[in-house]
Amino acid sequence: MTAQPNQHLAGILLMSAAVLLFSINDVLGKWLVATYSVAQVLVLRSIAALLVLAPLVKRDGVHHLLRPPRMRIQILRVACGTLEVGSFYWAVSMMPLADTMAFWMACPIFVAVASAVVLQERLKPARLAAVVLGFVGVLLALGAGLDSGWLPMAIALFGVCCYTGYLMATRALRGSPASVLAVYQMGSALVFGLVMLPFAWVPPGLLDVVLLMLLGVVGAGAHLMVTHSLALAPAAVVVPWQYAMILWAILFGWIFFGDVPEPVMLAGVAVIIAAGFWLTRLDLRGARG
């Protein structure tokens, strides 16, 4: 094997490991928000993540934090990212894990639409067809999730919209150091959690404190793996492996929470993944010219 295939394989393995860590993070989050508020989860998770990120900040230089590029986009990014994380934990406290993840797996569809609306990027017929197919999958997932009520689904859709804004802002800031982006994101979540914390504080036991802090450690590690995987291989090679997250969500939801997805939900997930892979293939073909 040449160096490039080896790097691509390493990128795929790192992305797969990150997806597993994110899935474990989601299980921990769903377990903990059954007892603790979203604000409390955000605070302890963010503190642990910032401790993990501290050596990277020292390596890259604190001056990057004090003078970040494109401040308005930085603010938009941390606002969208904080609202997205809060929405995910709120939605997953009311919905099965796999049902919640089905909405987040539709994010490439939302990004394609947002790029056409906000960035005025032209949706070619093939991309438009993939977007329409993706929204059919979202509608199937919506229909399957009616048992949970409209509130959690509305929160999930809001969270996906925020995640779309977060991804687009991150793309605009791709020249910024990864440590700066991560610290601003976790710092924003910490501030948001501290503001809301006085209204919903539940004294945690020692084990739960460890689990709450573990959320931040696992999440920070997964984010760093994703960043490194994208440095080793093109996004079109590694990003499709993120769809394994829905498979982990179905498995973990069944093992830990006794959730059994409805056939309609599984059909919606299959359609969303097919549309996402189609969009990825179109992006890869476009990158090759």
Share of the chain above pLDDT 90, in %: 9
Cα 209 to Cα 201: distance, rounded to the nearest angstrom: 13
Structural domain total, the chain? 1
CB-CB contact of 74 with 3 (8 Å): no
Residue 284 has pLDDT above 70, yes or no: no
What's the chain's length in residues?
A: 289
Judging by beta carbons within 10 Å of its beta carbon (0-12, 13-18, 19+), is residue 264 exposed, middle or buried? middle
Taking a C-beta distance cutoff of 8 angstroms, is the pair 106, 137 a contact?
yes
pLDDT digits (tens, 9 = 90+) for 145-159: 666 678 888 999 999
What is the domain extent for residue 206? 3-287
Distance in angstroms (rounded) separating the CA atoms of residues 29 and 26: 5
Is the pTM for the entire model greater than 0.85? no
Instruction: For residue range 219-270, list pLDDT tens digits in order.
Output: 888 878 877 787 777 666 677 777 788 888 888 989 998 888 888 888 888 8
What pLDDT band is residue 1 in, cutting at 50, 70 and 90?
very low
- Report the amino acid identity of residue 46: S
Residue ranges in the chain assigned as alpha helix (H): 3-32, 38-60, 63-66, 71-92, 97-104, 107-118, 125-144, 150-172, 178-196, 206-232, 235-238, 244-257, 263-287
Q: Are 78 and 46 in contact (CB under 8 A)?
A: no
pLDDT greater at residue 282 or residue 221 = 221
Question: Residue written as tokens 């919640």?
Answer: 100
User: Nearest CA to 88 among 249, 276, 202, 197?
Assistant: 249
